[in-house]
């Protein structure tokens, strides 16, 4: 493999999906979305063979074109995934790279009046679109979802909400245990907002009227704003912060709306869905800046609590922070493919 | 003033108080405690004149002997306080430096089965002891309490609990708004505890069997352990952490015991006591590592909420972190003395 | 412009250049190299019009494919450059994106027995290749070079060495004033090397046998190793470090080889070449982690010292660190194009 | 031992020395200086017995009164030293705590027109003063000097300059290998000085007209200014910085004056003096913020280079930064005392 390109053993198809569910979304973001569909080596040789599918979703600020981004001494995930299949290290699968970008940075893969219906778009538009065009296996035990950070969050909650679709998942440093991934950000945000009279909209106007990410506050505030738009928007799209912007005092009702989306806290109410899953990969770095190693531990503890066997769950902490952990994706992808292969044999 | 010493215009008397309330305390700490009593210039010249009293308490890990510690280019607070009175910048007062050290680092100035009865010792032993030996004014409007960090916390809660004693207070970066001063420490503690099998007692044994503060975890864990001993000890002295040491998941009942001691949350239940106060100084640095600038803002907002007038409250944020802010003490001390003087005139 | 793609007003051509000078390079890196040539809007409409050319080179660890990398809320530089020309904000120019990647991370755009003949490849192969295939202006006043970090370094030294080719330059946070950009890295490297018995080759073997950038030392050591391969390699390719890896003591002879490549120190010996330049853009962030704001100041002071007028030089410091400053490129590109346009009018 | 006090087995005498050499010093600092003399247990019982002496000097910003400063869970060094002798863990010695404070923060224990004649004061006034008043052994093998940071520097250079006086030394994180302990500070200083028009005197005026250490630049600039006053002052007291304050470019002649005081570089010229020493303790923390672990390694390598045997030198790196390493003092003190005891037996 050369540093600036790679020939694939399989092939990567780039499509545009016209989403009716995203049409007219509150942010005016495009409703025509790119989707990448990777077909493993051999796909064309066995015209009747159906394949399991792995849906790959991205972290906050990600969009699907970034899968082509190149880093020094590393290959992009789609190339590493291809190499995995080419070497025979994983049973073949179709891999679908989904786009859920918004101009606020992301969608958390939920339906929200603040951003749009990205959960439904994923489940009710993308999945059927893929199934209609490719030789896919359609049982949940043959359909996986994986992601990192907000994408890991999406990979945890989507199967809880739609166990009829997804039976296998992998989360890398997925947002969870919100007291540790979100609360430590709030005081930083309060301090930043002092410069904007406590009004995050004033910051947003500033952010969008200049080169973004040139001010120290940009990263903290976009995360806060984007997540609030997903979790605590009003029906008319207005966004509530989960704290008083002057004092930082938590607003319990708003914060509860966030907590309702904490995967750790969601487990008991979705116990049946989770107990039906056929493979759950959970990992995070021991130095994760958002403390998602604790979130990962807590999520696994919650799974054990509802009686999910250790055989279903792979839990792993590794020495890393939140960034630069894309090298974990091929590892979990191989695991997911083996799981789905075994499910199929067993099923 | 020379860098290594100063002659005082007033005088500083060093006593030992024998505390019946601390005798047999759960940690085996001494029940004979040093106390420093500062008498302002002129005290001996007017043998009938009674003086207001300011009680000064310290932050976590502090003991009363540390008031003599010298820093480069700065004088110790007792010398600065003396200079203040000597220059006539504040009406004279007696200043009492109280010791509430424990082998866990502090007492938070509360009565706890984990550490001892330090609140009662302060209110029911030290105050009467001072009043018995010095020419003090004894009305609450002439008795102030001040401190920084845990000492600021003590200065907030003691008048809430004993408005009959204390009518004026100053808190510098006092512990408050616990979601921001404590919760961000918990994930760090969980990570540290991995090396001790999740058992903070194993760390404590290690800590006390070697040179302290030579391991990265020492500062975080002693703070956690010390505060837990004050807020969430059992009757038999055992200490509960407010979170599961493996996953970090908050233990709501234990955490509630902590929250019950959050000054911001204590305000409504002690509204009458607070409304009786005659002067409240609240400040903190805008970069305080424990986010106590937010705590300070929130405490003041809570005071406004119960109808306390802005005339009673001095609120100020200044450019600083949590450390090195001893230069604020003389400023608040002068304010307290002026307040008490005005109270007296008014009273 | 959409976040995941953009239609260009001009067009970007992707070629592969077969380099005879890189063939058989010491690292076994490819001698067939990608090159991107951007043609501005209107290029095809005026078939006789010659265009000035801007050569764009990259920082350490960069390769030419990374120009396509997408970042949140920002467009890649080739798209921003195109938009600049499309809006008419700069006189049109051809923009050539050159690849000088090596498996050690870069080439510093010098000829070295440690990495290869990248300076000659750029000047004697790429430039003629471009001139042979495109309607270029060929006077130095119409040929610019620009880059950031190591690319900024290359943009400073290449015109010093080849004033016959390049008459205009822009450097963003270019490596310079080596006591501040390199020396502070050395003690960190010594500490890291303790784990490798003081032998950087042992680290390199480790680095290339696992996932790169998963150890704390990787970033520091690859920078050191890569630059040493460019500046202080033996004829046989062995690499000398500029310090004793056990004690950190500077090795004066090796360090001098580095200093000989410090743009600030190179100015006097290349005064004539520099005095012939027709435009010099120098900028850096005031918080640059490698202190290249000082390097930028010192370089400009050295230019003044040899009598270069302030009219030739644009010097600017802006509030930023070393990263995330790609938004500066279109600004300097426009300046370069205006300069070359003015040169042409004047010439 | 109680946290706030300790009874000593020996005794600590506090004197004031009138220094003729410091009288009229350029900074107008006091020429009457405190000195602490510690007499070990048994001193009074054997009225004829002479004792070896350890001179203890302090780091930058230190003054002798700070030896009484108390830290949580640790005892001050004079108490730990006393306990060492009381337990019989070290042969008894007199310990002399010397003051070399200046209003610029320190003296580096050299004679300088910028600060005063602190080297001569130490060697020609304090030592004779002690010898005249106490039962001391007066051969260099029975006279040691020790210190940390700038005090470690003083402990390295004083025996080089005065081997007739000092034959044993201990340096903890002593200033050395100036390219790593000083150069990384210079770019930070240049940036800070931008706010003062590049004029460090303007900063000094500001610093001394307000509460010190309330601005981010104070720590960096006082270190720079203080050391420059020691190493690169003019005869009239004016202070040269070793770099251009606008660009940071090193001023070679001034910087050479600093390098002439680098212990590592001083070794060859003082080889005879060093070869006469009877014990050299060198240690530092592996994470020392000034990279003095490298300085320690390099100093020891330079000692080996001139033929000093490993039996004379104790070299040790330990896991720590630059701060909080006072717990190392009793360890080296015991080693020094054992060495001097052995010297005496051998002598």
pLDDT by 10s per residue, chain C, length 347 = 578 888 999 999 999 999 999 999 999 999 999 999 999 999 999 999 999 999 999 999 999 999 999 999 999 999 999 999 999 999 999 999 999 999 999 999 999 999 999 999 999 999 999 999 999 999 999 999 999 999 999 999 999 999 999 999 999 999 999 999 999 999 999 999 999 999 999 999 999 999 999 999 999 999 999 999 999 999 999 999 999 999 999 999 999 999 999 999 999 999 999 999 999 999 999 999 999 999 999 999 999 999 999 999 999 999 999 999 999 999 999 999 999 999 887 76
Tell me: the pLDDT tens digits for D132-184?
Answer: 999 999 999 999 999 999 999 999 999 999 999 999 999 999 999 999 999 99
Residues D308 and B220: their CA atoms lie apart, in Å, by 44
Residues D171 and C107: their CA atoms lie apart, in Å, by 43
Contact C155, C174 (CB under 8 A): yes
**Would you say residue A2 has pLDDT above 90?**
no
The nearest CA of chain A is from the CA of C269 a distance in Å of 35
Residues A310 and A303: their CA atoms lie apart, in Å, by 9
Give the residue among B334, B330, B314, B52 at the shortest CA–CA distance from B166.
Answer: B52
Q: Which residue of D has its CA nearest to B104?
A: D73
Output the pLDDT for position B344. 83
Q: Which residue of B has its CA nearest to A188?
A: B291
Q: Which residue of A has its CA nearest to C322?
A: A214
Output the pLDDT for position C17. 97
Residues C309 and C303: their CA atoms lie apart, in Å, by 8
* Number of B–D residue contacts, CB under 8 Å: 78
**Would you say residue D347 has pLDDT above 70?**
no
Output the pLDDT for position A127. 98
Output the pLDDT for position C5. 85
Residues C189 and C183: their CA atoms lie apart, in Å, by 10
Residues D303 and C341: their CA atoms lie apart, in Å, by 63
Q: Which residues of C touch A68 (CB under 8 A)?
A: 68-70
Q: Which residues of B touch D324 (CB under 8 A)?
A: 213-214
The pairing of strands C111-112 and C94-97 is: unpaired
Q: Which 8-state DSSP code applies to residue D195?
A: G
Output the pLDDT for position B2. 80
Residues C65 and C53: their CA atoms lie apart, in Å, by 20
Q: Which 8-state DSSP code applies to residue D250?
A: B
Output the pLDDT for position C7. 92
Chain A residues within 8 angstroms (CB to CB) of chain C: 2-5, 30, 34, 61-66, 68-70, 72-74, 99, 101, 105, 211-214, 319-320, 324, 327
At residue D337 the predicted structure's pLDDT band, cuts being 50, 70 and 90, is: very high
Q: Do chain A and chain D touch with ≥3 beta carbon pairs under 8 Å?
A: no
Chain C residues within 8 angstroms (CB to CB) of chain D: 177, 179-180, 183-184, 186-187, 190-191, 244, 246-250, 264, 286, 291, 293-294, 297-298, 301
The percent of residues in chain D predicted with pLDDT above 70, rounded, is 99
Output the pLDDT for position D1. 58
Tell me: the pLDDT tens digits for C194-250?
Answer: 999 999 999 999 999 999 999 999 999 999 999 999 999 999 999 999 999 999 999
Q: What are chain C's partners, defined as 3 or more CB pairs within 8 angstroms?
A: A, D
Contact C106, C150 (CB under 8 A): yes
Starting at the edge strand found earlier in the chain, the sheet holding A313-318 runs A11-18, A32-39, A94-97, A53-57, A143-148, A168-172, A279-285, A313-318
Please name the residues in contact with D328: beta carbons below 8 A apart, sequence gap of 6 or more: D148, D172, D283, D318
Contact C72, C53 (CB under 8 A): no
Residues A178 and A184: their CA atoms lie apart, in Å, by 9
Residues of D1-32 as b/e, b for ≥16 C-beta within 10 angstroms?
eebbebebebebeeeebebebbeebbeebbbe
- Using a 10 angstrom Cβ sphere, with 0-12 exposed, 13-18 middle and 19 or more buried, the burial of residue A133 is exposed
The percent of residues in chain A predicted with pLDDT above 70, rounded, is 99
For residue B132, the Cα-to-chain-centroid distance in whole angstroms is 23
What's the count of helices (H) and strands (E) in chain A, helices before strands?
13, 10
Chain C residues within 8 angstroms (CB to CB) of chain A: 2-5, 30, 34, 61-66, 68-70, 72-74, 99, 101, 105, 211-214, 319-320, 324, 327
Ramachandran assignment for A109, one of left (phi > 0), alpha (psi -120 to 50 degrees), beta (any other): left
Contact A116, A107 (CB under 8 A): yes
CB atoms within 10 A of CB A44: 9
Contact D183 C184 (CB under 8 A): yes
- Using a 10 angstrom Cβ sphere, with 0-12 exposed, 13-18 middle and 19 or more buried, the burial of residue D185 is middle
| Dihedral pair phi/psi, residue A46, rounded to 5° | -120, 80
Give the residue among C82, C164, C94, C184 at the shortest CA–CA distance from C123.
Answer: C164
Residues B27 and B99: their CA atoms lie apart, in Å, by 16
Print pLDDT tens along chain B (347 aa). 588 888 999 999 999 999 999 999 999 999 999 999 999 999 999 999 999 999 999 999 999 999 999 999 999 999 999 999 999 999 999 999 999 999 999 999 999 999 999 999 999 999 999 999 999 999 999 999 999 999 999 999 999 999 999 999 999 999 999 999 999 999 999 999 999 999 999 999 999 999 999 999 999 999 999 999 999 999 999 999 999 999 999 999 999 999 999 999 999 999 999 999 999 999 999 999 999 999 999 999 999 999 999 999 999 999 999 999 999 999 999 999 999 999 887 76
Q: Which residues of B touch D65 (CB under 8 A)?
A: 3-5, 70
The whole-model pTM stands at: 0.96
Q: Which residues of A touch C66 (CB under 8 A)?
A: 4, 69-70
Contact C66 A62 (CB under 8 A): no
CA D42-D43-D44 angle, to 5 degrees, is 90
Output the pLDDT for position C71. 95
Residue range A90-118: mean pLDDT, rounded: 98
Residues B307 and B310: their CA atoms lie apart, in Å, by 9
- 3 state SS of C18: strand
Of C2, C62, C212, the CB nearest to A30: C2
The average confidence (pLDDT) of chain A is: 97
Output the pLDDT for position A1. 59
- How long is chain D? 347
Residues C119 and A124: their CA atoms lie apart, in Å, by 55
Output the pLDDT for position D318. 98
Q: Which residue of A has its CA nearest to C69?
A: A69
Residues B174 and B325: their CA atoms lie apart, in Å, by 12
The average confidence (pLDDT) of chain D is: 97
Output the pLDDT for position C1. 59
Greatest pairwise CA separation for chain C in angstroms? 64
Of B184, B248, B298, the CB nearest to A248: B298
Residues D282 and D295: their CA atoms lie apart, in Å, by 10
Of B184, B249, B294, the CB nearest to A248: B294
Contact B280, B303 (CB under 8 A): yes
Residues A117 and A260: their CA atoms lie apart, in Å, by 18
Q: Determine which of C30, C73, C317 to mutate to test the interface with A (most A C-beta atoms within 10 Å).
A: C73
Residues C190 and C247: their CA atoms lie apart, in Å, by 7
The nearest CA of chain D is from the CA of C247 a distance in Å of 5
Beta strands in chain C (DSSP E): 11-18, 32-39, 53-57, 94-97, 111-112, 116-117, 143-148, 168-172, 279-285, 313-318
At residue A143 the predicted structure's pLDDT band, cuts being 50, 70 and 90, is: very high
The pairing of strands C53-57 and C94-97 is: parallel
Beta strands in chain B (DSSP E): 11-18, 32-39, 53-57, 94-97, 111-112, 116-117, 143-148, 168-172, 279-285, 313-318
Tell me: the pLDDT tens digits for A270-308?
Answer: 999 999 999 999 999 999 999 999 999 999 999 999 999
Q: Which residues of D touch B6 (CB under 8 A)?
A: none
**Would you say residue A7 has pLDDT above 80?**
yes
Q: Which residues on neighbouring strands pair with residue A103, listed in sequence order?
A: none
Greatest pairwise CA separation for chain D in angstroms? 64
- 3 state SS of A120: helix
CA dihedral B95→B99→B105→B109, nearest 10 degrees, is -80
Residues B172 and C287: their CA atoms lie apart, in Å, by 32
CA C42-C46-C50 angle, to 5 degrees, is 95
What ipTM score was computed for the predicted complex, to two decimals? 0.95
Alpha helix (H) residue ranges in chain C: 77-86, 118-120, 127-133, 150-161, 178-181, 185-193, 200-207, 218-231, 252-259, 263-266, 271-275, 292-305, 329-346
Residues C320 and C325: their CA atoms lie apart, in Å, by 7
Contact A327 C214 (CB under 8 A): yes
Q: Which residues of A touch B244 (CB under 8 A)?
A: 301
Of A179, A246, A298, the CB nearest to B183: A179
Of B64, B73, B212, the CB nearest to D73: B212
Output the pLDDT for position A103. 96
CB hemisphere CA count around D162 (13 angstroms): 20
Q: Do chain D and chain C touch with ≥3 beta carbon pairs under 8 Å?
A: yes
Q: Which residue of D has its CA nearest to C190?
A: D294
Contact B152, B174 (CB under 8 A): yes
């Amino acid at each position: 493999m050369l540093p600036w390109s790679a020939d694939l053993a399989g092939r990567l198809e780039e499509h545009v999906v016209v989403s009716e569910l995203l049409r007219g979304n509150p942010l005016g973001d495009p409703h025509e979305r790119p989707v990448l569909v990777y077909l493993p080596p051999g796909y064309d040789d066995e015209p009747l063979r159906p394949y399991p599918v792995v849906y790959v979703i991205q972290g906050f600020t990600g969009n699907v074109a970034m899968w082509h981004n190149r880093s020094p001494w590393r290959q992009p995930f789609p190339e590493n995934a291809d190499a995995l299949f080419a070497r025979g290290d994983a049973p073949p699968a179709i891999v679908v790279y989904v786009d859920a970008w918004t101009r606020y940075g992301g969608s958390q893969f939920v339906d929200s009046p603040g951003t749009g219906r990205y959960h439904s778009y994923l489940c009710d538009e993308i999945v059927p679109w893929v199934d209609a065009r490719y030789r896919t296996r359609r049982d949940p035990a043959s359909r996986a979802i994986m992601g990192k950070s907000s994408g890991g969050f999406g990979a945890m909650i989507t199967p809880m909400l739609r166990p009829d679709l997804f039976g296998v998942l992998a989360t890398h440093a997925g947002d969870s245990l919100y007291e540790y991934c979100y609360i430590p950000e709030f005081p930083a945000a309060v301090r930043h907002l002092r410069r904007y009279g406590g009004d995050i909209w004033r910051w947003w106007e500033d952010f969008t009227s200049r080169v973004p990410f040139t001010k120290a506050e940009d990263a903290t505030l976009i995360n806060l704003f984007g997540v609030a738009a997903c979790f605590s928007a009003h029906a008319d799209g207005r966004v509530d912060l989960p704290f008083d912007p002057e004092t930082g005092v938590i607003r319990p009702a708003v914060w509860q709306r966030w907590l309702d989306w904490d995967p750790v806290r969601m487990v008991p109410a979705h116990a049946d869905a989770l107990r039906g899953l056929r493979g759950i990969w959970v990992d995070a770095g021991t130095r994760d800046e958002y403390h998602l190693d604790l979130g990962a531990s807590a999520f696994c503890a919650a799974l054990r609590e509802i009686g999910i066997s250790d055989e279903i769950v792979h839990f792993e902490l590794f020495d890393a922070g939140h960034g630069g952990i894309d090298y974990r994706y091929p590892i979990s992808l191989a695991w997911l493919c083996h799981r789905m292969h075994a499910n199929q044999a067993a099923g």
